[in-house]
Amino acid sequence: MNVRVLIVDDHPLFRDGLRGLLETADDIEVVGEAASGDEAVGLARHFEPEVILMDLNLPGLHGIEATRQITQDHPRINVLVITMFEDDESVFSALRAGARGYLLKGASHGETLRAIRAVANGEAIFGPSVAARVMKYFAAPPGRQQLSFPELTDREREILEFIAHGSTNETIAEALVLSLKTVRNHVSNICGKLQVADRAQAVIRAREAGLS
């Protein structure tokens, strides 16, 4: 039985290249293509493929949030991230969202095909540099692995720590070299994920978790 694949990327040339590669494999069938996170969620519901090849930097719904929605609504769908980003925040946020694998764009054709087949079989698969990051994380002392609020991205957790110490948005923006609008968006996302009404309640949650 063929592995049914949905390609999600906002660059038509990259989608064309992936489709061309997958069409050379007798056991893989491309069932559709999406150019945004919202479109990916809709096509995942429509096609219910075995594997979704998911870029992260997408217009509209971000690839990580699209991954989270898809894996929550369709546990049998396996998401393989294929992206240019290899920073810790992107890698671990994708894994927390439910991705089964993580490859960098530029992976060899053979590596990409092997990863798709492995993820379709329920395995976890990572490109070499990403695997090194994962191994480094699990090699860290146990205390460092018990992260508070696993639903938050690394950046959101970092900003929550600032909030817990009483920092203003302006102070956070200056310390992290971010725009004030970006910090405000992060604070809004933090409140939403922690299911609190405002910043004050977020501080309480943070301090209860020992972040103050």
Is 142 domain-assigned? no
If DSSP codes are grouped into helix, strand and coil, which group holds residue 116? helix
- Domain with 157, as residue range(s), is 147-208
Query: pLDDT at position 144, please?
Result: 47
Query: pLDDT at position 145, please?
Result: 43
CATH for 64: 3.40.50.2300
Task: Give residue-wise pLDDT tens across range 35-90.
Answer: 999 999 999 999 999 999 999 999 989 999 999 999 999 999 999 999 998 877 78
Query: What does R_g of the chain's alpha carbons equal in angstroms?
Result: 19
State whether 151 and 133 are in the same domain.
no
Best CA proximity match to 155, nearest among 130, 176, 184:
176
Task: Give residue-wise pLDDT tens across range 102-118.
Answer: 999 999 999 999 999 99
125, two tokens: 């698969």
Cβ proximity of 205 and 197 under 8 Å: no
pLDDT band for position 176 (cuts 50, 70, 90):
confident
80 strand-pairing partners: 53, 101
More reliable by pLDDT, 56 or 203 = 56
d(CA 46, CA 58) in angstroms, rounded, equals 20
pLDDT at 130 over 60: yes
